[in-house]
Copies of this chain bind each other. A is one copy, B any other.
Amino acid sequence: MSKFLSFIFLVPSFLSFGQSDSTFIRTVYNEALSHGHAYEDLRSLCKDIGARITGSAEAEMAIQWGKRKMESYNFDKVYLQEIQVPHWERGTTEAGWIKYSDGSMSKVNLLALGGSIGTNGLMEAEVIEFSSLEELKNLKSDKTTKGKIVFINQPMDEQQINTFKAYGGCWPMRGLGAIEAAQHGAKAVLIRSLGLPVDEHPHTGGMYYTDTVQKIPAAALSTLDAEKLSTSLKKEKVQFVLEMDCRDYPDKTSYNVIGELKGSENPNNIITFGGHLDSWDTGEGAHDDGAGIVHCMEALRILKTMDYQPKNTLRLVFFMNEENGNRGGKGYAEWAKEQTHEKHIAAVESDRGGFAPRGFSCDGSEEQVLFLQSLEKHFSQYDLHVFEKGYGGVDIGPLKTQFEEIPLFGFVPDSQRYFDFHHAPSDVFENVNKRELELGCAAIASFLYLLDQNL
């Protein structure tokens, strides 16, 4: 049946008001831009709570904040979903110094990587620099690394137009550097922060140990300090003095926060969408992922405010623990699988910052990517043009394990400035632009509407 005929004879409820898709989407944008709550909600999350690493008191406060906010917007159902989460704390002491051959010292800006062990007091050793994890891996003899501090100084590739590709290229240094350095007998590993600008902000992030390799402390230097250390090493032998008292604690009980608008036609068909409520323990988690949290909450608020009756259930999830374990994403997917009456038809994630929207990517079949591309026409006047195969998101990723055929969609904002702030003390509310944030909310609300209407 042609679109026109379906319009005449079927007349879905929202169309009874004579609204076309384009009118509906225009109304969404007007609400977001003229009556938006996103910016003030983000201010509250960043300033009233701030950094909220999994297991912290602030993470608990953020859960209550999210639940209260969702309730204040009168979503049909608001509830918590219990999960067990890891609990790592940075501790109170964290410092590093370059120690030159004449004994003089120069303090650097660093952050322990998330999950690192501490140094148990001051640790001092000679520094050996590598240009990449690859170079360290290919080292034949451990003579030069044994008992030393390995320093991996791989800059993000600024020639990548999409900065996430540059990030991906450097991720192994952070994620696997401690394992590789320990295998080569090192006492600790320092990495260059995964940030594009050369500045004073260190960028933390997740890292791994294995059971079979000794755990050693791991920290990220600011890019400026990485360059300073590298310059020093070209001139002389250099020691590094490191002190960190971060440590792991036993797992804790925590929660994903869930809010729903119930489907009017197919209440058991679920469209899951959200971002992650936890952040690293530095800055305010404004872009990562406060923006994603308010993007998605605001999208549902807008649809609710417009009195939109979704055909399918729209389920907003604030995932806990994306940064260091993804227990929220995994726990949600397992729980969803147990709800045997539910059919999971799509999932959407926003976790790439609060910048001007460029489009959506699809982790799905060729047909699902074609479907995504069919939606592009609705967004051309809103300056979105990226509708392509690509990544969904860490939190919604486990849904694919449980439901093989579910399409995962990732919201794609402009990527140029994300790695100025990512996991750094500079990821604060002031670095999020109100309009850019609001345009993201409108794009996601419109996208949810189109998914709901067309899936």
Interface residues of A (CB under 8 A from B): 29-30, 33-34, 158-159, 161-163, 196-197, 356, 358, 381-383, 385-386, 414, 416-417, 420, 433-436, 439
Contact = CB atoms under 8 A, between A and B. Distances in A.
A354 to B, nearest CB: 11
Contacts of A162: 383
A22 to B, nearest CB: 13
Contacts of A358: 383
Contacts of A386: 383
A29 B157 CA distance: 13
Contact of A356 (B416, B433, B434, B439): B416
Nearest to A380: B385
Contacts of A34: 158-159
A419 to B, nearest CB: 9
Given A383-B161, A385-B385, A434-B197, A356 B33 contact: no
A200 to B, nearest CB: 14
A356 B436 CA distance: 13
- Best-surrounded residue of A29, A197, A416, A434 (most CB of chain B within 10 A): A416
A159 B29 contact: yes
24 contacts: A30-B159, A33-B158, A33-B159, A34-B158, A34-B159, A158-B435, A161-B381, A161-B382, A161-B439, A162-B383, A163-B435, A196-B435, A197-B434, A356-B416, A358-B383, A383-B386, A385-B385, A414-B414, A416-B433, A416-B435, A416-B436, A417-B433, A417-B436, A420-B433
Given A197-B434, A383-B386, 5 more contacts: A29-B159, A33-B159, A162-B383, A416-B433, A417-B433
B433 A161 contact: no
A93 B436 CA distance: 37
